[in-house]
């Protein structure tokens, strides 16, 4: 046996071994999609107007703060997300030249429109579009992080449309969709803020402490009133600074722990830069209260007893599960905007099992029918094609297991289609070999000519199909993408088996024979 044939056999054996090892055990290596395993299907909309409002609020407060540092006192700011602008009160006597310099330095992306007593700052449409796009991308990443920590296997989380505000979420095997929706939808935005006044039993009492007006750099928010055992017994009102000392974006980690009453709580640690800032603040505000604000609600307002650098604790009468979920959400990051559920479907596992059984039966029936046809029509050469077909299926399933592809119902359809396409190349080759034998060529010459001349046609046919499959994968969603994955792998596997493996089988049969008079084809 010559070296050329040996290395071809060695390569085929290696491919078979790698495929079988990748596939074993099939029950653990082949992941079933939502339509086969059951689970939850959600379509979410990211309310990008929230991101625009947050940007305008941040810009207005930044302008007021920076102007104050320059000795310029401004009035209150009013944001209007619909018009992509905010307005700041400019008292008489303010140095407008200096104010313009501050605005241009710290808000370079805004268009400045000075007016009598008020200045309007307009956000350009292209900048707003980028903010909306980033909000969807950040929401997509945050949702993915939360679901990954939740432990859902093989989730599908992707954006619908290139610039759309919708996100598709498919979670196979989920048995508690309510909890998953809660984890996905929670904003969980953490802020630590300076307490100006409070607590008060109602808003009127709090305003009485302030002379009836709220300072422009502060805001009133509510929290739960707790007894000595930490149990919420009512509502109370707080006045806190608008600007946060630190936010949840500066967290390094969060985990479930216990408070001083051994009740569930959430401990957190900060990144180095935030720890330095937090340490400086707490060191200079010993004896004052600091509010821990979660989703614009005061969870607790402890008195600073000493300098705190890099860690803290959130209490709030949590259950163990609530504390665990809050820690999970804080670790995954806060959503940049609220989300709305547009569509929800729950797929039962019984439907998935029925689909798997019917799909497998169809695949087996198709496989048997194709193999019988090849044996009847091409005789013993049909056995060559059948061996290549079986190897094609082994490579296909092994590759899907290796790359972690998810098998869906359309994916099973792709497998069935691959069965037919896998022998298509063999049909072209065998017909060409028949033609070469009919014109008087020897068997070896006919086989060489059949494979050589049919290769170009096989390559063109499979390449065009592969291009279509790649476009389906790139722009399709869910089941369409599953079909594209199966079809693409099947095409590449069929090229290998029909051209390389079938040729090798003929070479093995003809090896050592000087002359072959006939070929069963």
| Strand partners of residue 122 | 85, 111
* Residue from 410, 454, 418, 419 nearest 433 by CA: 454
CA distance 24 to 31: 13
Cα distance between the two ends of the chain: 24
**φ, ψ at 66 (rounded to 5°):** -70, -35
pLDDT score for 154: 63
pLDDT score for 338: 74
pTM: 0.53
CA distance 328 to 3: 59
pLDDT score for 17: 93
- What is the side-by-side order of every strand in the sheet holding 77-80? 77-80, 85-89, 118-122, 111-114
CA distance to 68, 74, 108, 150, per residue, from 71 (Å): 5, 10, 20, 50
pLDDT score for 350: 59
Q: How many CA atoms does the CB half-sphere of 486 hold within 13 Å?
A: 27
* Residue from 311, 307, 287, 291 nearest 299 by CA: 291
Domain 49-126: give its CATH code.
Answer: 3.30.1240.20
Top-level CATH class of 3-37+349-510? mainly alpha
CA distance 52 to 22: 48
* pLDDT in 10s for each residue of the chain, 521 residues: 578 888 999 999 999 999 999 888 877 777 777 667 777 788 888 888 888 887 887 788 778 878 887 888 888 888 888 888 888 888 888 788 888 888 888 888 888 888 888 889 988 888 888 888 878 887 887 777 667 655 555 677 888 877 788 888 877 776 666 767 776 766 556 677 888 887 888 888 888 877 777 877 788 888 877 665 556 667 888 888 877 777 766 777 777 788 777 778 777 777 777 777 777 888 888 888 888 777 677 877 777 767 777 777 766 666 777 677 667 656 655 566 777 878 877 766 655 677 778 878 888 888 899 899 999 998 888 898 999 999 998 998 888 888 777 777 777 888 888 888 788 888 889 999 988 888 888 888 888 888 888 888 888 888 998 998 888 887 776 667 777 888 888 888 988 998 899 999 988 888 767 677 778 88
pLDDT score for 360: 80
| Strand partners of residue 192 | 246, 292
| Strand partners of residue 353 | none
pLDDT score for 354: 75
pLDDT score for 316: 60
DSSP letter at 334 equals -
CA distance 463 to 443: 29
pLDDT score for 326: 65
DSSP letter at 405 equals P
CA distance 292 to 301: 6
Residues 6+ apart with CB under 8 A from 129: 163
pLDDT score for 416: 81
Instruction: Considering the domain delimited by 190-322, tell me its CATH architecture.
Output: 2-Layer Sandwich (3.30)
DSSP letter at 124 equals P
CA distance 200 to 237: 5
Cβ proximity of 511 and 1 under 8 Å? yes
As a 3-state breakdown, the chain gives helix, strand, coil percent values, each rounded to 5, of: 55, 20, 25
In the chain, what are the domain boundaries?
A: 3-37+349-510, 49-126, 190-322
CA distance to 80, 87, 107, 274, 493, per residue, from 77 (Å): 10, 6, 15, 27, 64
Label the pairing between strands 406-407 and 31-32.
parallel
CA distance 38 to 339: 24
CB-count exposure of residue 225 (10 Å: 0-12, 13-18, 19+): middle
């Amino acid at each position: 046996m010559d070296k050329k044939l040996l290395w071809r056999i060695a390569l085929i054996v290696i491919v078979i071994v790698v495929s079988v090892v990748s596939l074993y055990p099939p029950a653990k290596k082949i992941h079933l999609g939502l339509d086969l395993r059951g689970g939850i299907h959600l379509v979410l909309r990211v309310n990008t107007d929230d991101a625009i409002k947050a940007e305008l609020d941040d810009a207005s407060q930044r302008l007021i703060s920076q102007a104050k540092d320059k000795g310029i006192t401004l009035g209150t700011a009013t944001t209007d997300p619909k018009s992509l602008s905010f307005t700041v009160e400019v008292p008489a006597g303010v140095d407008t030249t200096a104010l313009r310099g501050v605005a241009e330095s710290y808000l370079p992306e805004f268009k400045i429109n000075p007016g009598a007593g008020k200045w309007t700052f307009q956000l350009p449409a292209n900048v707003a579009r980028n903010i909306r796009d980033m909000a969807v991308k950040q929401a997509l990443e945050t949702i993915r992080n939360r679901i990954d920590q939740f432990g859902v296997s093989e989730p599908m989380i992707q954006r619908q449309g290139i610039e759309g505000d919708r996100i598709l979420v498919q979670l196979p095997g989920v048995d508690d969709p309510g909890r998953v929706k809660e984890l996905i939808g929670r904003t969980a935005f953490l802020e630590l803020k300076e307490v100006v006044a409070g607590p008060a039993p109602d808003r009127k009492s709090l305003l009485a402490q302030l002379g009836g007006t709220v300072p422009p750099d502060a805001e009133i928010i509510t929290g739960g009133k707790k007894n000595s055992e930490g149990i919420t017994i009512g509502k109370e009102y707080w006045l806190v600074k608008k600007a946060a000392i630190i936010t949840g974006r500066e967290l390094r980690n969060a985990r479930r722990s216990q408070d001083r009453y051994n009740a569930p709580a959430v401990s957190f640690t900060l990144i180095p830069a935030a720890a330095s800032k937090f340490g400086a603040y707490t060191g200079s505000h010993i004896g004052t209260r600091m509010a821990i604000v979660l989703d614009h609600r005061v969870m607790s307002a402890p008195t600073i007893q000493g300098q705190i650098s890099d860690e803290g604790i959130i209490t709030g009468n949590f259950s163990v599960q609530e504390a665990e979920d809050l820690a999970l959400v804080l670790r995954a990051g806060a959503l940049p905007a609220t989300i709305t559920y547009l569509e929800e479907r729950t797929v039962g596992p019984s439907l998935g099992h029925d689909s798997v059984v019917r799909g497998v039966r169809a695949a087996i029936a198709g496989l048997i029918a194709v193999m019988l046809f090849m044996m009847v029509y091409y005789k013993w050469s049909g056995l060559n094609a059948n061996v290549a077909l079986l190897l094609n299926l082994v490579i296909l399933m092994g590759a899907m297991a290796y790359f972690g592809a998810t098998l869906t119902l359309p994916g099973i359809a792709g497998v069935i289609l691959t069965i037919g396409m896998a022998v298509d190349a063999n049909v072209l080759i065998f017909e060409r070999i028949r033609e070469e034998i009919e014109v008087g060529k020897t068997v070896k010459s006919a086989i060489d000519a059949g494979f050589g001349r049919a290769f170009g046609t096989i390559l063109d046919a499979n390449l065009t199909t592969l291009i279509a499959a790649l476009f389906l994968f790139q722009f399709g969603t869910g089941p369409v993408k599953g079909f594209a994955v199966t079809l693409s792998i099947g095409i590449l596997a069929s090229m290998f088996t029909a051209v390389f493996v079938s040729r090798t089988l003929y070479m093995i049969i003809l090896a050592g024979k000087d002359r072959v008079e006939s070929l069963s084809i």
